[in-house]
Amino acid sequence: MTRAAVIARRELGSYFYSPIAYVAMTLFLIATGLAFGRDFRPGQVVAMRSLLEWMVFFMVGIIPILTMGLLAQERSTGTIETLMTAPVTDVILGKFLGALSFSMILVLLTAAHVGTLLLFGTPDLGPILTAYLGLVLTIMVYLSVGLLISTCTRFQLVSALVSVVILVVFTLICHAVGEIMPDEIRRIIWFVSLVDRYLHFLQGLVAMDDVVYLLSIVATMLFLSVKVLESRKWRA
């Protein structure tokens, strides 16, 4: 666990030396600022509905940028051999926690919007905090998917593009397709839809099946990442 913490700390620090991370942060802050502008208008309910609705979609574009180099860059630069002196599980967990830490910094930056609402009104913090819980769980899913794809290729651009496609399918397309399907099929499609799981949190509902479903995806993706990296280590 100590090695995983060291790798996570190194990974978090590396983001602040990468221009790509600053680009991702800038785009995220601009997007969230514009979304919050729709909430912070005269006559609007004192809430963050637009911002919280859109943040999960913003992350579809941001997270692949953060995860594309987690393992792909290590392989392309040849530093993977040094990294693999640590246990594979620690490598995967450390990379995941490092990316998660940077993602949580992005989320915490939006706390300024919550402070603005508290300054000018009396928002109901319950649904806001519940939505943030759902957002964090969804981000964990995104990160675990991006990490798995980064483990499978040495090309960062390929990793980013494949991750975006997968996340778009399970965040946007599943919901859109479900809208036009009969009820029986719609229920099946929306069962795997990440955005529909997140919408439950956005409505102020914390259902155990949603939490278990999202965490099970994270665990599965991390397990597969470990197995892929172990197979590559064995071939090496």
- The 10s digit of each residue's pLDDT in 1-34 is 588 888 899 889 888 888 888 888 888 888 888 8
CA dist., res. 162 & res. 1, Å (int): 30
**47 or 194, greater pLDDT:** 194
pLDDT at residue 164 in the model: 93
Beta-carbon contacts of 187 under 8 Å, excluding residues fewer than 6 positions away, are none
**Does residue 44 carry a pLDDT above 70?**
no
CA dist., res. 140 & res. 59, Å (int): 11
Are the C-beta atoms of 226 and 92 separated by less than 8 Å?
yes
pLDDT at residue 161 in the model: 94
Confidence of residue 224 (pLDDT cuts 50, 70, 90): very high
**223 or 3, greater pLDDT:** 223
The per-residue pLDDT for range 147-157, each reduced to its tens digit, is 999 998 888 88
CA dist., res. 144 & res. 37, Å (int): 31
